[in-house]
């Protein structure tokens, strides 16, 4: 059961509804916004940050979705792991998601995806291990603007994913993602939910 009450969309700040399309979204698509709505001005800032990243993305959808799911695993954010975005669905099969269990050995990943996933692993678990050598490896595959974009995605996923995990909002998720708080869940263990 979620640790902070979920505010029904009818009670959200109208600007927050407009920013998120919350009035036409499913419960899972409304996600953490139902709890962020307790602090509408802050919620609008957080949603605005995420929207700016999504709308100005230059990196491939597939790479971003793989990085998002890998960080979700490290965060143990069950709602993040359960969701599959339709924008990446054609390029991110469940077989590919399963390869995220061991990304260094996965056959279906490009070298740039491996480098991005290594950065994601380090950013989520040991950010001080991101050394000059890691940035040199990034430069082999990404421009500085793309590297900054990837880092901003990671900042969003690590921060908001940990917030969502802490709130333990799992009651609407498929059974494979509703394990008791503290149990380890993986993006490759359950039936995901496709969202827009």
Domains and CATH numbers, the chain: 1-56 (no CATH), 60-167+183-195 (1.20.1290.10)
Six-digit token pair at 54? 């999504």
- Whether pLDDT at 150 is above 80: yes
Q: What is the pLDDT of residues 8-22, one digit of tens each?
A: 999 999 999 999 999
Q: CA angle, 77 as apex, 126 and 95 as ends, to 5°?
A: 90
Supply the DSSP symbol for 179: P
Residue 1's pLDDT is: 83
Q: What is the pLDDT of residues 113-137, one digit of tens each?
A: 999 999 999 999 999 999 999 999 9
Six-digit token pair at 17? 């509804």
Instruction: Mention every residue, 6+ apart, whose C-beta is less than 8 A from residue 96.
Output: 66, 106, 108, 109
> How many residues can be counted in the chain?
196
Choice between 160 and 194, residue whose per-residue pLDDT is larger: 160
Q: What is the pLDDT of residues 64-117, one digit of tens each?
A: 999 999 999 999 999 999 999 888 888 999 899 998 999 989 989 999 999 999
Cα(17)–Cα(135) distance, rounded to whole angstroms? 39
Secondary structure of the chain: what % helix, strand, coil (to 5)?
A: 60, 5, 35
Q: Which of 61, 52, 65 is nearest to 19 (CA)?
A: 52
What residues are paired with 195 via a beta bridge?
Answer: 85
The arithmetic mean of pLDDT across residues 128-154, rounded, is 98
- Whether pLDDT at 51 is above 90: yes
Six-digit token pair at 185? 């869940």
Residue 189's pLDDT is: 76
Residue 121's pLDDT is: 98
Q: CA angle, 40 as apex, 23 and 49 as ends, to 5°?
A: 85
Percent of all residues in the chain with a pLDDT value above 90, rounded to a whole number: 84
* Residue 182: C-alpha distances to residues 65, 77, 153 (Å): 24, 11, 25
């Amino acid at each position: 059961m979620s640790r902070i009450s979920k505010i029904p969309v009818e009670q959200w700040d109208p600007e927050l509804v407009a920013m998120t399309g919350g009035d036409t979204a499913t419960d899972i698509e409304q996600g953490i916004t139902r709890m962020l709505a307790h602090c509408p001005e802050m919620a609008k800032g957080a949603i605005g940050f995420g929207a700016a990243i999504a709308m100005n993305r230059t990196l491939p959808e597939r790479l971003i979705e793989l990085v998002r799911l890998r960080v979700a695993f490290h965060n143990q954010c069950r709602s993040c792991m359960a969701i599959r975005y339709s924008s990446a669905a054609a390029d991110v099969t469940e077989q590919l998601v399963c390869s995220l269990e061991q990304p260094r050995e996965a056959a279906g990943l490009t070298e740039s995806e491996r480098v991005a996933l290594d950065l994601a692993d380090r950013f989520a678990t040991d950010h001080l291990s991101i050394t000059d050598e890691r940035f040199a490896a990034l430069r082999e595959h990404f421009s500085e603007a793309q590297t900054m974009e990837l880092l901003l995605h990671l900042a969003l996923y690590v921060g908001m994913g940990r917030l969502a995990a802490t709130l333990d909002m799992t009651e609407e998720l498929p059974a494979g993602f509703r394990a008791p708080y503290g149990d380890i869940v993986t993006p490759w263990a359950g039936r995901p939910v496709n969202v827009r």
